[in-house]
Every structure is written in C-alpha cells, then in structure tokens.
C-alpha cells in the first residue's frame, strides 16, 4: 500500500504534467482531502501549490489563462488599473472561471473597493466553494470593514479546508461563557 507522501507526490506530478486531469472530480477531491490531512506545513504547501495549478489550469482557453497571468504580472508591479482592465475582460469572456473572479477580487481589494471585492469573492465561491484563498480574502475584507464576526466565520471555514493557511494567524480564539477570564 503506497504511503500518503508517495500518493501526494504522484498527484502533484500528474497535475503538473497533465493539467486537464485537474478537472476530474476524483482528482480534485483527492487534493482537498490531502490538504485537510497534511501532517506538516511543508506538505500542506505542496498540496496548496497543486491546487493553485489546478485552479489556474481551469481557465477555458489558453488566451484566458495567459490574460490572468498577465494581470498577475501587472499586479506585481503595482499596475492595478492595468490588471483590473485585463480581469474585467476575463470575467466578461469567461464568467464560469472562478479564478478570474478571485483575481479581480484581489485587485479590487488592493484598490480599496471592498464592496466590489466582496461581490467578486461571492462569484468565485459560487463557482468553487472550496476556494480557501477567496474565503481568506473575504475574511480580510470583512475584518477591514469592522465586521469581525462574519470575517472570523469566513476565516474559520477557510482553515477547515486548508489547515496550514497562512492567514490562520488572524484567527481570534472563541470565548464562551465557560471560558476562564470571560468577564475581563
């Protein structure tokens, strides 16, 4: 019986050489199960990388995938207006591509368009309910708006999906009536 590490490496190798297989429901489920069950942060990051490759590969055409990549390059050099213009085209041409919505949500967040960002995040999550990055983005936006409880709920959901998520450090411990120090 193969070890979990062997299976993980095999899935990652398959995804990197054959992105079309990422659309297979069983492969997708296996990746998210491996993410939840990762025993170390390193293992979690490896699976996370495979999931990101899967999401990026889901772009319906090479032109759409390249447009998203170009928008990300523009974002890296702080050309948010240029990135937004490209991503507006992506979501218009590929409205069923979750990553197009997620990337545009991030640009809108960077431009302090929090309501627009939340709208795009909701579209991304409708298409990909396990999009831990969209959930983390939603948490960040909500908390920036002072909406701490719904932000924490979104972040808790993201961490359920991806226990090694970088943003997990933003979680606030839940205090209930039985917690010592509750009246402080």
Q: What is the DSSP letter of 39?
A: S
Confidence of residue 176 (pLDDT cuts 50, 70, 90): low
Predicted TM-score (pTM) of the model is: 0.82
Residue with structure tokens 């055409």?
61
Confidence of residue 13 (pLDDT cuts 50, 70, 90): very low
pLDDT tens for residues 38-82? Answer: 999 999 999 999 999 999 999 999 999 999 999 999 999 999 999
Look at residue 79 in the predicted model and tell me its pLDDT.
98
Look at residue 177 in the predicted model and tell me its pLDDT.
55
pLDDT tens for residues 100-134? Answer: 999 999 999 999 999 999 999 999 999 999 999 99
- Of 163 and 3, which is predicted with more confidence? 163
What residues contact residue 25 under an 8 Å CB cut-off, 6+ apart?
A: none
Angle of CA points 123, 127, 132, to nearest 5°: 85
User: What's the CA gap between 172 and 21, in Å, rounded?
Assistant: 38
Distance (Å) of CA 145 to CA 35, 84, 122? 30, 22, 16
User: What's the CA gap between 42 and 74, in Å, rounded?
Assistant: 29
Q: What is the DSSP letter of 23?
A: G
Look at residue 174 in the predicted model and tell me its pLDDT.
79
pLDDT of residue 183 exceeding 70: no
Reduced to 3 states (helix: H, G, I; strand: E, B; else coil), residue 163 is: coil
Residue 78 burial (CB count, 10 A): 10
């Amino acid at each position: 019986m193969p070890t979990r590490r062997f299976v993980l490496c095999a899935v990652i190798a398959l995804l990197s050489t054959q992105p079309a297989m990422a659309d297979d429901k069983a492969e997708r489920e296996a990746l998210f199960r491996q993410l939840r069950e990762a025993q170390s942060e390193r293992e979690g990051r490896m699976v996370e990388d495979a999931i990101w490759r899967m999401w990026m590969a889901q772009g319906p055409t090479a032109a759409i995938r390249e447009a998203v990549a170009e928008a990300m390059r523009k974002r890296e050099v702080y050309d948010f207006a240029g990135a937004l213009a490209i991503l507006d085209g992506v979501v218009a041409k590929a409205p069923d591509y979750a990553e197009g919505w997620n990337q545009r949500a991030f640009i809108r967040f960077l431009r302090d368009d929090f309501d627009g960002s939340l709208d795009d995040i909701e579209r991304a999550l409708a298409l990909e309910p396990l999009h831990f990055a969209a959930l983390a983005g939603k948490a960040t936006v909500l908390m920036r708006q002072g909406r701490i409880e719904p932000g924490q709920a979104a972040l808790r959901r993201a961490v359920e999906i991806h226990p090694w998520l970088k943003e997990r450090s933003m979680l606030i411990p839940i205090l209930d009536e039985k917690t010592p120090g509750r009246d402080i």
